[in-house]
Amino acid sequence: MHTWLRLSCLMLTLALVSCGGKSSSSRADSPIGGSGSVGSLRISQVVIPAPPPGADATSAFLVVENAGDTSVVIDGVSADGVRAVRIHETIGGQMQRLDQVAVPPGTRIRFAPGGIHLMMEGLAGVLSRGDTVALSLTLTTGETMTILAPVLRYGEAVRAVQ
């Protein structure tokens, strides 16, 4: 009986080690966060850092890439359960509001801390790690894209867009 139990434990351990190695490697290679596309614009790595307890605002980070041959302009952002989502850019340590962001052809823009990012103000409820938020981006063409963004710890969210 002991031999059968030892053999079963050994087989289970080998199976877990094998699976664990493969899945952690694929996780490291695949981006974290929501993604989607509209026309030539691809949005990826959309993540939201969980706000500190009691805060009614947080940010959102993402990567925008224009694979087309004409500029694409993002001029509106909204999110479920959020009063206002605004585009900001940090310049000289100060946040400044932007009405829109132009994404020239063949370029990639990272919305991340210390640069362009989204500010989500007036959260309707508590956002915690593991939640998801539907974030919608509107282009000057009138096209809209909605992406489900996971809520992560701040450090996880920052690493997701690096």
pLDDT in tens, the chain (162 residues): 444 334 333 333 333 333 333 333 334 455 799 999 998 999 999 999 999 999 999 999 999 999 999 999 999 999 999 999 999 999 999 999 999 999 999 999 999 999 999 999 999 999 999 999 999 999 999 999 999 999 999 999 999 998
Looking at residue 6, what is its pLDDT?
A: 41
The CATH number for 127's domain is: 2.60.40.1890
Domain that holds residue 140: 34-160
Domain count, the chain: 2
Same domain (yes/no): 56, 1: no
Same domain (yes/no): 11, 41: no
Same domain (yes/no): 41, 14: no
Let me know if 99 is exposed, middle or buried by CB neighbors in 10 A (0-12, 13-18, 19+). Answer: exposed
Looking at residue 16, what is its pLDDT?
A: 31
What is the reported pTM? Answer: 0.80
Same domain (yes/no): 70, 15: no
Looking at residue 30, what is its pLDDT?
A: 59
Looking at residue 4, what is its pLDDT?
A: 39
Looking at residue 103, what is its pLDDT?
A: 98
Same domain (yes/no): 3, 15: yes
